[in-house]
Amino acid sequence: MRRSFSTPQVDGNFAMSTPAPAFHRAIARSGRALTGIVRTPGDKSISHRSIIFGALAEGVTTISGLLEGADIMSTIGAMRAFDARVERRDVGVWEVTGTPTPVSPGVPVDCGNSGTGVRLVMGAVSAYPVTATFTGDASLTSRPMRRILDPLRRMGVTATSTADGRLPATITSNGRLSPLDYHSPRASAQVKSAILLAGLGATGTTTVHEPERSRDHTENMLRAFGISIKVDGLSVSVTGPAKLRAAHVHVPGDPSSAAFPMVAALITPGSDVIIENIMMNPTRTGLFETLTEMGAELRKFNFRISGGETVADIRVRHSELRGVTVPPERAPSMIDEYPVLAVASACAKGETVMNGIHELRVKESDRIAATASLLRCNGVEVRERDDGMTITGMKTVPGGGHVVIRHDHRIAMSALVLGLNARATVSIDDASMIATSFPNFFRVMQALGADMAAS
Ligand code: S3P
């Protein structure tokens, strides 16, 4: 290893001080081994929640390590529209003064590209007497919202949307909702969170039952904001009416962002990289398990508690990967990682089978279709099914593809990572979406030695 392992070369959280340029095309090609130490940005799920909860809490919430990506900026804009004061004090350090009585925004609230932002805000403000219209970008306005609007209607919210249940949607609540006992058809933290947050404005106990456990950040953070919450197996309950109280939130590093330099190091010969400060919450680490089963050399160390979550550093070395069958019940703990897992699978020996991932069809893009086309245009064989795909790996992929990223940050980063182990340059049409979740992606990857550039 050429560089010392004492200080990270690049901290992926430095976003506002180093704004992402408004570029479009970007390329990646194979080159030297990746080496060094990096830190990925703050967790997106926890960052959204810290802003939303803080904006509705009594008192002043302080946040450190906030992800300053475009999605979070949309959520900050949304909560300001309801009259919360949200102010930046330093890099990643924010202060949120909650509004005890959110006002109805006079104009539509634009949640940009963020499904988490819009769904959680719709649920959270339903606990108050407000009327609000929500909209978003081309990707967000094509995503399904009935999964949130239908349970909110059952709680007493009046909600309208397009005929096929998409944005723009308008909700009106009188702030006195009925509690709900809801059996969710899918493991979705967005659905669970929206209903529980609305439940804070209901008189009585609201319970969400899930088929599998989805990420548990809402449960953990509601406790930190003074709410008593009951978890019983796959059922989570809150009893309202209940008020959030301001808290201090320290946001740990995002395992979903760490996945990109991690897979990059695994597939680039000679690589030896440390990624610091990665949240190890078991509802989020399915990818690390899967990569380990594929033969990845991942050494986790320096375990510590930070902001109520376990975090660790991970040393990743280039590894000869082999295909595996990913257990469908693991999907909720790695739901955002399938595109980059597909890239690792394309560079593994044998077939990797992924099933039970129909939800990927309604993410920022149809991620099964987008991932399949990302791989195919770079010469990788993929068999696509309604709820999954099978990828046939090879040592080095042909590459040479131009990937249309369909407004999807994770498709963009996955394509560029694939380029690091391709015979011909891989390009993408729009790198600007990467700022959604990983504003310093290029700087982090370049610091490790990746031949990647935006133009
Ligand atoms: C998230 C939940 C997941 C995930 C998304 C973030 C959250 O969505 O894909 O990126 O923070 O609650 P679903 O709830 O739709 O599974």
Domain count, the chain: 2
Please tell me the residue having the least CA distance from ligand 1 atom 11. Answer: 45
Asked whether the beta carbons of 408 and 367 are under 8 A apart, the reply is yes
Judge if 258 and 238 occupy the same domain.
no
**Over the stretch 64-85, which tens digit does the pLDDT of each residue have?**
999 999 999 999 999 999 999 9
- Quick: pLDDT tens for 160-183: 999 999 999 999 999 999 999 999
Domain boundary among 227, 250, 273: 250
| Strand 388-392 to 325-326 pairing | unpaired
Same domain, 277 and 348: yes
**Which ligand 1 atom is the nearest neighbour of the CA of 332?**
16
Q: Could you tell me if 240 and 323 lie in one domain? A: no
Per-residue pLDDT at 211 = 97
Six-digit token string for 282: 């078991």
313 has catalytic annotation? no
Q: What is the pLDDT of residue 17?
A: 38
**pLDDT exceeds 70 at position 221:** yes
What secondary structure letter does DSSP report for 31? -
Question: Of all protein residues, whose CA lies closest to atom 9 belonging to ligand 1?
Answer: 336
Rounded to whole angstroms, the Cα distance separating 12 from 341 reads: 21
179-201: average pLDDT: 98
Q: Are residues 445 and 321 in the same domain?
A: yes
Residues making up the chain, counted from first to last: 455
Q: What is the CATH number of the domain that holds 201?
A: 3.65.10.10
Mean pLDDT on 147-158: 98
Model confidence at 227: pLDDT above 60: yes
Is a pLDDT exceeding 90 seen at residue 455?
no
Q: Is the model's pLDDT at 6 over the cut of 90?
A: no
pLDDT of residue 15: 42
Q: Is the pLDDT of residue 9 over 90?
A: no
> Would you give the DSSP letter of residue 18?
S
What residues are in contact with ligand 1 under a 6 Å CB criterion? 45, 116, 188-190, 193, 215, 335-336, 359
Q: Report pLDDT for 23.
A: 53
One domain, residues 245 and 256? no
Full residue range of the structural domain in which residue 86 is found = 44-250
**Nearest residue by C-alpha to atom 16 in ligand 1:** 188
- Residue 349: its pLDDT value, please? 98
User: Is 34 found in the same domain as 48?
Assistant: no
Are both 306 and 385 inside the same structural domain? yes
Mean pLDDT of 112-116: 97
Instruction: Say whether both 18 and 89 belong to one domain.
Output: no
What are the CA-CA distances from residue 372 to residues 54, 156, 385 (Å)?
39, 41, 10
Q: How far is the CA of 359 from the centre of ligand 1 (A)?
A: 10
pLDDT (tens digit per residue) in 125-139: 999 999 999 999 999
CA distance 369 to 385: 9
Statement: residue 453 has pLDDT above 80: yes
pLDDT, position 308: 87
Question: Which atom of ligand 1 has the smallest separation from the CA of 191?
Answer: 14
Query: Does pLDDT of 443 surpass 50?
Result: yes
Question: Which is the catalytic residue, given 336, 366, 386, 387?
Answer: 336
Q: For 318-382, give the DSSP string.
A: ----B--EEPGGGGGGGTT-HHHHHHHHHTSBSEEEE-S-GGGGGSSS-HHHHHHHHHHTTT-EE
What pLDDT, on a 0 to 100 scale, did the predictor assign at position 3? 37
* Co-location of 18 and 71 in the same domain: no
**Mutate which of 53, 116, 284 to test ligand 1's pocket (most atoms within 8 Å of Cβ)?**
116
Ligand 1 atom nearest to CA at 335 = 9
pLDDT at 13: 55
Tell me the best of 71, 190, 217, 364 to mutate to test the pocket of ligand 1, counting ligand atoms within 8 Å of each CB and taking the most. Answer: 190
Burial class (CB in 10 A: 0-12, 13-18, 19+), 255: buried
In this structure, which residue's CA is closest to atom 5 in ligand 1?
116
Domain identity same for 69 and 131? yes
- The reply to whether 285 and 413 lie within a common domain is yes
* pLDDT confidence of residue 286: 98
What pTM does this model have? 0.96
Note the pLDDT of residue 54: 98
Cα 447 to ligand 1 centre (Å): 29
End residue of a domain, out of 193, 223, 250: 250
High-pLDDT (> 90) share of the chain, %? 93
Q: State the closest ligand 1 atom to the C-alpha of 49, by its place in the atom list counted from 1.
A: 11
Average pLDDT taken over every residue of the chain: 95
Q: Which of 226, 250, 274 is the last residue of a domain?
A: 250
The mean-pLDDT minimum among 19-23, 196-200, 257-261, 446-450 falls in 19-23
Q: Are residues 305 and 450 in the same domain?
A: yes
- φ, ψ of residue 130 to 5 degrees: the values are -140, 160
- Please, which residues bridge with residue 93 across strands? 90
**What is the reported pLDDT for 307?**
81
